[in-house]
């Protein structure tokens, strides 16, 4: 039995995935196997007809993302965003009322929510000095945890996790747990990706998305990158047609060379605007800390987060209060917007300052 089979619950090991019409037959001329309507309705320009079910894992999409990410298509699972990838990992590897996962707050909230939704205990191992990983505690807790979630660049702090720390955790948990690195914001600091470690560590899983730098949050398209055996297990649990046809068309366009050039230009513009936003935040005396960020947002601390939040909302400016997260008392997270949006945020901050 492989190490992965050993950590995979029995009911998933024995699961025979739903044999959809598309999975049973992938080539043919006359398609009468899926109770589809044979009459294609009109589709908007650039989109394929939609009367047929999409492929389970569209080859065109996997090839396009594999080329972009520098990995093999068979190491990918396309999902409806990272959030679906997280949910599939929980449901594929964790058993209700038995298993546990580790997450490292302050961080993205869905690791804990997904675990708890599925009756799996979520153990927090908070970030320590400089918001880096508490490696000894993670390794110690890992002996009873199937999944370990790391987020780099991390949301909401915007910082990158130490690479050597990640390697230490990967090494210590080899053959025992999956280490999942959420790289939702990786395009903003591409050189820090853990993808170089995929060949060496079969317990590494990377989560990626088109929601951030690619500007396609509304499309709902993400990817799990992992070794083939992990991908095969996740495929068993996945919905039979997770990626709608129009999503495939639009995602492939985004992953073409002109699409990637467009994304790169957006990232450069966001970097410029990030500097403007950073300089602007420094002007306000009620902003007590601005945390260095490599991503498209800033976390900053103020004297009274709730009061500022309310003032901004009354002015039509919506940012995010992070104060309820561990270690983030009176902090807010603001996304890097357009110059116009930053100017409006600045005006509202000025109006708040004037009435202090
Ligand atoms: C760290 C992190 N992971 C995942 C997600 C969700 O990604 P997706 O839109 O691909 O589901 C977010 C969204 O804010 C995020 O901040």
Count of residues making up the chain:
356
pLDDT of residue 18 exceeding 90: no
pLDDT the model gives residue 23:
83
Instruction: Supply the residue whose CA is at minimum distance from atom 7 of ligand 1.
Output: 82
For tokens 């939702």, what's the residue? 184
Instruction: Supply the residue whose CA is at minimum distance from atom 12 of ligand 1.
Output: 184
pTM score, whole prediction: 0.97
pLDDT the model gives residue 41:
86
Distance (angstroms) between ligand 1 centre and the Cα of 295 equals 13
- Number of Cβ atoms within 10 Å of the Cβ of 307: 15
Distance (angstroms) between ligand 1 centre and the Cα of 356 equals 35
% of the chain residues with pLDDT over 70: 100
pLDDT the model gives residue 20:
87
% of the chain residues with pLDDT over 90: 93
What lies within 8 Å, CB to CB, of 28 at 6+ separation is none
Q: Is the CB of 106 under 6 A from ligand 1?
A: no
Instruction: Supply the residue whose CA is at minimum distance from atom 3 of ligand 1.
Output: 184
CA 207 to chain centre: 5
pLDDT the model gives residue 100:
97
pLDDT mean over 27-49 = 90
The DSSP symbol for 159 reads P
Domains in the chain with CATH codes: 3-255 (3.40.640.10), 259-354 (3.90.1150.10)
CA distance 141 to 205: 19
State the pLDDT confidence band at 83, using cuts at 50, 70 and 90: very high
pLDDT the model gives residue 19:
85
pLDDT mean over 182-196 = 98
Rounded to the nearest integer, the mean pLDDT of the chain is: 96
Atom of ligand 1 nearest to the CA of 210: 10
263 and 187 Cβ atoms separated by less than 8 Å: yes
Please give the residue that has the higher pLDDT: either 188 or 45.
Answer: 188
Q: Does an H or E element contain 60, and which?
A: helix 59-69
Sheet holding 100-103, edge to edge: 76-79, 222-225, 204-209, 178-182, 147-151, 100-103, 121-124
State the pLDDT confidence band at 277, using cuts at 50, 70 and 90: very high
Distance (angstroms) between ligand 1 centre and the Cα of 178 equals 19
Q: Is the CB of 184 under 6 A from ligand 1?
A: yes
pLDDT the model gives residue 1:
87
Q: What is the pLDDT of residues 306-340, one digit of tens each?
A: 999 999 999 999 999 999 999 999 999 999 999 99
Taking the CA of residue 36 as centre, how many other CA atoms within 13 Å lie in the half-sphere pointing to its CB?
18
State the pLDDT confidence band at 126, using cuts at 50, 70 and 90: very high
**Ligand 1 probe mutation, 105, 108, 160, 181, most atoms within 8 A of CB:** 108
Which tokens in the block code for residue 42?
Answer: 């009109």
Which tokens in the block code for residue 5?
Answer: 């089979």
């Amino acid at each position: 039995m492989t190490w992965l089979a050993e950590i995979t619950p029995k009911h998933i090991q024995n699961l025979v995935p739903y044999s959809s019409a598309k999975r049973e037959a992938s080539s043919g001329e006359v398609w009468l196997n899926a109770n589809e309507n044979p009459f294609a309705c009109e589709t908007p320009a650039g989109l394929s007809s939609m009367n047929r079910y999409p492929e389970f894992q569209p080859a065109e999409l996997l090839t396009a993302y594999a080329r972009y990410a520098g990995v093999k298509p068979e190491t990918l699972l396309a999902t409806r965003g990272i959030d679906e990838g997280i949910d599939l990992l929980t449901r594929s590897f964790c058993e209700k009322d038995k298993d546990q996962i580790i997450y490292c707050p302050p961080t993205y909230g869905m690791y804990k929510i997904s675990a708890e939704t599925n009756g799996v205990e979520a153990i927090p191992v908070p970030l320590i000095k400089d918001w880096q990983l508490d490696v000894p505690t993670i390794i110690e807790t890992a002996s009873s945890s199937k999944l370990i979630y790391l987020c780099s660049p991390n949301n909401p702090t915007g910082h990158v996790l130490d690479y050597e720390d990640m390697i230490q955790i990967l090494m210590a948990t080899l053959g025992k747990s999956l280490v999942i690195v959420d790289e939702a914001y990786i395009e903003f600091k591409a050189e820090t990706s853990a993808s170089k470690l995929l060949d060496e560590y079969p317990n590494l899983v990377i989560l990626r998305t088109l929601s951030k730098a690619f500007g396609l949050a509304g499309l709902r398209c993400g990817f799990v990158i992992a070794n083939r055996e992990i991908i095969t297990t996740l495929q068993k649990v996945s919905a039979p047609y997770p990626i709608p046809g129009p999503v495939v068309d639009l995602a492939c366009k985004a992953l073409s060379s002109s699409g990637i050039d467009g994304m790169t230009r957006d990232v450069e513009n966001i970097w410029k605007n990030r500097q403007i936003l950073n300089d602007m935040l420094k002007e306000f005396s009620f902003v007590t800390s601005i945390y260095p960020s490599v991503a498209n947002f800033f976390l900053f601390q103020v004297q009274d987060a709730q009061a500022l939040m309310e003032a901004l909302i009354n002015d039509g400016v919506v940012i995010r209060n992070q104060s309820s997260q561990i270690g983030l008392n009176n902090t807010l997270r603001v996304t890097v917007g357009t110059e116009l949006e930053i100017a409006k945020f600045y005006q509202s901050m000025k109006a708040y300052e004037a009435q202090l």
